[in-house]
Amino acid sequence: MRAFEIRQPVVDAIPVVCSIPHTGTYVPDGIPERWTSDHIRSLPMTDWHLHHLYDFLPSLGVTSIHATWSRFLCDLNRPPEPRALYPGRFETGIVAERTFWGDVIWDSYPARQEIDQWKAQVHVPYHEALNALLDETAARFGHCVLLDLHSVASKASEVHPELEYEIYLGNRDGDSCADWLIDCTHELMEAAGLKVVRNNPYKGGYITDTYGRRDDVDALQIEMCQRVYMDENEPGAALDDERFGKARHMLEGILGSLATEASRKIR
């Protein structure tokens, strides 16, 4: 199974690339038997259906890349070698040992050799592809916006209490993008009726931190509560839920306006 899928624009391209690193659900044969419970085998922590929710991006001129593998095998939004993204706070590594709610994932944690294999199969090619997309876009337009798209269950976890807001914008406390990008996104989200907060508790992970350091990229993480677009108790039913269609339509309007502003800013 290839580590990612890329969706190219179907209209004139604009200087925006979207990454969806946690929507993947592929798990190699033999792995689920090594997990501790049926709950773990149901893949909690997945950003359910985001590649479907954002399937309108090509019609806006946006290039997107999304993961196909489950983050339980290789988390694309974590550093390839151990280092804290949020010092002093609970966080998961490139292969998580526990879920956000404290559940042990593995009967026996994978050996270094196996983790290195997954990194080579999944982490390396995804980031090579994402970096190439940013290179191509920045070379064409002179600059590029990167939106790293996520969703999260609302219930309390080791990371946060029950989530009050619907949208959590992260730009590493101002280090990964220009003010106009987070300001514009915040205003558009609020105008659509969503409650928005910045950099608390989600500041942006490895992708935002890494690519936001580039001089030719403004990177912003958008974390959305899953209740916005799905029944969090029935993740498999989301595509049949009326709220999914409403959320998709709302997000298409928001990101369409944001894309227009990005194209105006980057000329």
Is residue 240 pLDDT above 80, yes or no? no
What's the pLDDT score for residue 12? 96
Q: What percent of the chain has pLDDT over 90?
A: 91
Q: Could you count the other beta carbons within 10 Å of the beta carbon of residue 261?
A: 18
Specify the residue for token string 């982490």: 123
Report the chain's mean pLDDT, rounded to a whole number: 96
What's the pLDDT score for residue 88? 81
Q: How would you classify the pairing of strands 144-152 and 63-67?
A: unpaired
What's the pLDDT score for residue 82? 82
**Cβ neighbours for 215, distance < 8 A, ≥ 6 positions apart:** none
Q: Could you count the other beta carbons within 10 Å of the beta carbon of residue 132?
A: 12
What's the pLDDT score for residue 9? 98
Q: Where is pLDDT greater, at 267 or 197?
A: 197
Largest pairwise CA distance in the chain: 53
Specify the residue for token string 């988390």: 75
**Nearest-angstrom CA–CA distance, 202 and 262:** 23
Q: Give 69-78 pLDDT, tens digit per residue.
A: 999 999 999 9
Q: Residue 235's pLDDT band (boundaries 50, 70, 90)?
A: confident
Q: Check: CB of residue 115 under 8 Å from CB of residue 94.
A: yes
**Nearest-angstrom CA–CA distance, 211 and 171:** 11
What's the pLDDT score for residue 86? 84
**Nearest-angstrom CA–CA distance, 169 and 158:** 19
17-45: average pLDDT: 97
Is residue 267 pLDDT above 80, yes or no? no
Q: Give 82-139 pLDDT, tens digit per residue.
A: 888 888 888 899 999 999 999 999 999 999 999 999 999 999 999 999 999 999 999 9
Q: Where is pLDDT greater, at 242 or 126?
A: 126
20-32: average pLDDT: 98
Q: What is the pTM of this model?
A: 0.97
187-205: average pLDDT: 97
141-169: average pLDDT: 97
218-247: average pLDDT: 90
36-64: average pLDDT: 97
Phi, psi of 167 (to 5 degrees): -125, 130
